[in-house]
Amino acid sequence: MRVLAVIPARYASVRLPAKPLADIHGKPMIQWVYERAKASRAVDRVVVATDDERIASAVKKFGGEAILTDRAIPSGTDRVAAVADQIDADVYVNIQGDEPLMATEAITAAVELVTSKRFIMGTAMTPMRDPEDLSNAAVVKTFADKDDRAIYFSRHPIPYSRGEAPKTVVPAGAASPFACRRHVGLYTYTKECLFRIRSLPQSAWEKGEMLEQLRAMQDGIAIGIKEVDFLSIGVDTPEELEKVRKILDQRAP
């Protein structure tokens, strides 16, 4: 199967303008994400889908491939579909451009959920490490059933235990059926699934939570999900950007 990874990258960002070009140890953030995607054994080709020539130029400067897409496209999934109109593949991978710590194992796991034909859409989750993330609406929470099917995605801690206050929801790894997982900014789809999602109007769940995967879920698409243990940080603020810089400082030889 041909697997194409697409990294949607918009220039505009309310909390962190020009986010894909933010410098992290001498490289733009989009380059870190691109290199993680290229390192995955499950991916055949990587393309950045952007709405701005400045991002396209930066990608080409480090030797990557970029495609300019319409600025009016409403979500990352829709931007991946715009690339699918031009580049044919069997499986498409949507890797959010603000995940510079993305693990290749997460990419591989999400791809295999679809290439195995268990699901037509896949994603990944990771243990919730920081208790403060439980109340952070920027951190998306999720959980799954025994068959690796995602039950829901929310900015609120889920699943919720009636007998516990929200602040005491147990992080993943603890012996609790109410352990909370952090969703990773990554999706995989068959071509048919991708085009089906694009054809749908934005759903009530999607608009309410501002989470694009809920459009698919509300239409009845089962989303496969695998847990991969790595430190996932989606960069949305200057504080998160600085946190990533410090983590990569610690990893440097």
Q: State the Cα angle at 236 between 233 and 242, rounded to 5°.
A: 65
CA 229 to chain CA centroid, Å, is 15
Beta strand ranges found along the chain (DSSP E): 3-9, 23-24, 27-28, 45-50, 66-68, 91-95, 121-127, 141-144, 150-154, 181-190, 223-227
Q: Specify the amino acid at residue 57.
A: S
Residue 165: pLDDT over 60: no
Report the pLDDT value the prediction gives residue 159, as an integer from 0 to 100.
82
- Summarised one tens digit per residue, pLDDT across range 101-147 is 999 999 999 999 999 999 999 999 998 878 788 888 888 999 999 99
pTM here is: 0.91
Sequence-separated (6 or more) residues with CB below 8 Å from residue 153? 140, 141, 142, 183, 209, 211, 213, 214, 217
- What's the pLDDT band for 77 if we cut at 50, 70, 90? very high
- What's the pLDDT band for 168 if we cut at 50, 70, 90? very low
- What's the pLDDT band for 253 if we cut at 50, 70, 90? low
Mean pLDDT, residues 161-166 = 62
Residue 163: pLDDT over 80: no
Query: How much of the chain exceeds pLDDT 70, in percent?
Result: 92
Exposure of 248 by Cβ count < 10 A (0-12 exposed, 13-18 middle, 19+ buried)?
A: middle
Q: Which of 91-100, 124-133, 172-181 has the largest mean confidence? A: 91-100
